[in-house]
């Protein structure tokens, strides 16, 4: 019989599995093959610099089965910090079992103990209806904002077209 799921803040020992999850998520959701050296250095950097954010992992039977990353955004309008939820990945065999809900509730509870946190945000691929439904079921709602980005010349994070 499987053990209960343990939700905890990630540690340095989780760098390999989080790197693996991030690569799998990018390939699955955006058909992008991340450059292994870049993503592993990125995960390691965040784990070693709490001012950049943090990861939370879900673990069962001493095996990490899901993770997400949280980064911050200051809101002058609200005089508070948004926690941005990113890089969500749950092992395919563990999906539809409430693992993301447990991760999200852990984040919520952590924020309840921190008066400077005013809310949560995330972005999701337009076609990922299952994820959108999960986020809405937890009380999140779609905003009117669109996200734009521009990468500095020379910034590479994924392999050439697959």
Give the CATH number of domain 6-137: 3.40.630.30
pTM higher than 0.85 for the full model?
yes
Identify the CA nearest to 64 among candidates 72, 73, 55.
55
- Residue in the structure block whose two tokens are 């990861």: 55
Burial code (b: 16+ CB inside 10 Å, e: under 16) for 35-60 equals eeeebbebbeebbeeeeebbbbbbbb
In tens digits, the chain (162 residues) has pLDDT values of 568 999 999 999 999 999 999 999 999 988 999 999 999 999 999 999 999 999 999 999 999 999 999 999 999 999 999 999 999 999 999 999 999 999 999 999 999 989 999 999 999 988 889 889 999 999 999 999 988 999 999 898 988 654
């Amino acid at each position: 019989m499987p053990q209960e799921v343990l939700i905890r803040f990630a540690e340095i020992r989780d760098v390999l599995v989080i790197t693996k999850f991030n690569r799998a998520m990018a390939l699955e959701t955006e058909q992008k093959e991340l450059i292994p050296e870049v993503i592993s250095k990125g995960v390691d950097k965040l784990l070693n610099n709490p001012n950049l954010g943090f990861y939370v992992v879900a673990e069962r039977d001493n095996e990490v089965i899901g993770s997400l990353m949280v980064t911050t955004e200051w809101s002058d309008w609200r005089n508070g910090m948004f926690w941005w939820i990113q890089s969500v990945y749950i092992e395919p065999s563990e999906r539809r079992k409430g693992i993301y809900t447990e991760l999200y509730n852990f984040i919520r509870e952590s924020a309840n103990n921190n008066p400077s946190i005013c809310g949560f945000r995330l972005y999701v691929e337009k076609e990922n209806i299952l994820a959108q439904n999960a986020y809405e079921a937890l009380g999140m709602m779609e905003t009117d904002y669109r996200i734009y980005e521009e990468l500095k010349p020379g910034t590479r994070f994924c392999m050439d077209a697959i």
